[in-house]
Amino acid sequence: MIHNRPVSNRFANLTRVQALDPDRDYHDIYQQMVRVEFPFDLKLGLNLGFNRSFSTPAVARVLAGTGELTERTQKRRDDTGILMYELVINGLDHPRSRAAIRRINQIHRPYRGLPAEEYLYVLACCAVIPLRWLDRYAWRKPCCHERQATFRFYAELGRLMNVTGIPDDLAALETWFDTYDAENLKPNEAAVAIEKATRSLLLGKLPRPLVPLGDAMVSALYDDRLRAATGLREPAWPVRSAVHTLLRARAGFLRHFGRPRAVPRFPDGRLTTSTYPDGYEIQDLGPKPRDDDDLVRRSGGQEGGPE
């Protein structure tokens, strides 16, 4: 449960988390991470995870073929974010979350031709990449309870999505992820097109003085393998150093001078985006159902998919 009362102890929420059971209370712990402890860092970490999962040749070819991330970039990103936050805010057993999971499975159904490992890779990107971001740039590293709760949240989500081959623990998932990533995240034109579209969306939100440095700043957030897959050049070392220094300085400032959030992100549980300023219905998120046959033809997939 999210606590709304203000606290002055920077580590008060961590103390609460460590009193919970991560195998039983994984949703409460993960929700606390996303909405209270690390809201900015996990939003960015999840975005980096999704960007990576969209960049393997198999997935990138499908997404580029549908046009969902190259022609309707803002809507696709809003849809993905809403579905994810519905799960985090409500918990996987809530009726709204079950509706969100059904919609996710409906969206994926036309792409049954993708290897099963690609679905596991997407799941691993959501768990592994954000935790590694927290390790490097958050105001504190996630504790063992938070790591286990993150793994349990995504393992349970994967089970509900009929994702197969999920390892038994976080360490095994990380090992699997690193191996699959090294073997499958390769340069490909579809990933270049998707990354360019999503980066343009991000750069459009930067303050004008930072726009000329925008490409280099985004590239600095990627590692060598993701840059190669998406066709980005390594930024000059002064840019890499500046981005790293600023992020570490932010972490130090928050650690020593920050205070826990008195109000969680999305305090009333309502999500609004530029695509849906007046609200949304979960069943309307994603591609329209009547487009499914066309999506199958354009992406080279087959009917079927997670139920």
Q: How far apart are CA 302 and CA 7, in angstroms?
A: 53
Give the rounded distance of the alpha carbon of 299 from its chain centre: 23
Q: What is the pTM of this model?
A: 0.89
The share of the chain scoring above pLDDT 90, in percent, equals 71
pLDDT tens track for 175-203: 999 999 999 999 999 999 999 998 887 77
Q: What confidence tier does 303 reach under pLDDT thresholds 50, 70, 90?
A: very low
pLDDT exceeds 90 at position 83: yes
CA 280, 283, 289, 295 dihedral sign is: positive
For residues 269 and 80, the answer to whether their CB atoms sit within 8 Å is no
Domain architecture of the chain: domains with CATH? 17-198 (1.10.490)
Q: Which residues contact 290 (CB under 8 A, 6 or more apart)?
A: none
In degrees, rounded to 5, the angle at the alpha carbon of residue 286 between the alpha carbons of residues 152 and 201 is 90
Which one-letter DSSP state was computed for residue 272? -
pLDDT exceeds 80 at position 15: yes
Q: In this predicted structure, which of 30-34, 208-212, 234-238 has the lowest mean pLDDT?
A: 208-212
